Amino acid sequence: MDQRTPPRMNVPLSRQVYAKESRVPPDLAASVGVALLLSLLVRVHVLIPFRVIAGLAIGLVIPGYLLVCWIFPKRESLKGWERAGVVLVSNIAIIIMMGLLMALFKIPLVTITVANTLTVLIVVLAAIVFWTRQNDPTIEPAWDFSWVRSKRVRAAVLLMVALSGFVWYVVGTNLNKQYTAFSLTNTHDQLSGYPYLLQPKQLDPMRLNIFNPSQATQSYVVIERTAGRIILRQPVTVAPKHHWFQIIDLPTVGVGPLVHLHFILTTGKGETIRQLWITYHVAP
């Protein structure tokens, strides 16, 4: 034997595989990274195309992929297209179950809470899959992700990001030019529960919002009414690119047990621009 060649160590195969897989697998790292990125982007109003892409990845793939990797960890358990179908169905089921549980525990179904819940779920599933792979050195990632290094794949991803950004810019710009925003929220910027349950003489402050997207000052008329009478008719002037809001209380006296409240936004000439409805119960 050549003296310059170091002797080959007799290391068991299982230990060799375990050492090879001791690093964080790229699929788990990417899953957790996308979840954390989405949780960050929903808090800022920048990089909207990236937020859309991250949201689609989580809404269609990542939680289901991690769940399937946990239940069917070995490649031979499910073939390529079979695994893809199970991942998609599992992901839809996870989103539905998560929504039902959030409603059951009265967690507001708003963007931030949904993103936070999905992030926690993805981190927990990724940790379980990582632990499972570390304790069974024969398990390999269900898919080979070497294709990510392909120049064509990278070009396709860049093209998708560019197209998403272009569509967001064009659509967003046109919508901002043509449409006046008109919304009703509570003082915490969210609506929870339908219909609302109010006690007589209870004050429930709500916030009526108008945004003027045009380059000129606009004059509006806000009308608040029930089926039987007009509660409020108020002229409003909003500066260009500015918001207007007013805190109002939902009426609970003399309106009946079930109230359908109607808000109408019109021009100064009486042309309807937007309409809002809210339904709530007044306890007997």
- The pTM of the full predicted model, rounded to 2 decimals, is 0.49
- For strands 258-267 and 181-186, give the pairing: unpaired
Which segments of 4-67 are extended strands (E)? none
Amino acid at site 188: H
What is the 8-class DSSP label of residue 145?
G
CA atoms within 13 A on the CB side of 154: 5
- For strands 181-186 and 205-211, give the pairing: antiparallel
Pick the CATH number of 179-282 from 1.20.1630.10, 1.10.1270.20, 3.40.50.2000, 2.60.40.10: 2.60.40.10
Annotated domain spans of the chain: 13-143, 147-178, 179-282
pLDDT tens digits for range 227-239: 778 888 999 999 9
Helices then strands, counting H and E runs in the chain, come out as 7, 8
pLDDT tens digits for range 234-253: 999 999 888 898 888 777 76
For the chain, list residues with pLDDT below 50: 1-2, 8-9, 11-21, 192-194
Tokens 């964080």 appear where? 24
Q: What is the pLDDT of residue 189?
A: 52
Whole-angstrom distance, CA of residue 222 vs CA of residue 199: 26
Q: What is the pLDDT of residue 211?
A: 87
Q: What is the 3-state secondary structure (H, E, C) of 62-120?
A: HHHHHHHHHHCCCHHHCCHHHHHHHHHHHHHHHHHHHHHHHHHCCCCCCHHHHHHHHHH
Q: What is the pLDDT of residue 15?
A: 42
pLDDT tens digits for range 40-87: 888 776 677 788 888 888 888 899 999 988 888 877 777 767 888 888
Q: How far is CA 231 from the centre of its chain?
A: 36
> Please, are residues 137 and 14 in contact by the beta-carbon 8 Å criterion?
yes
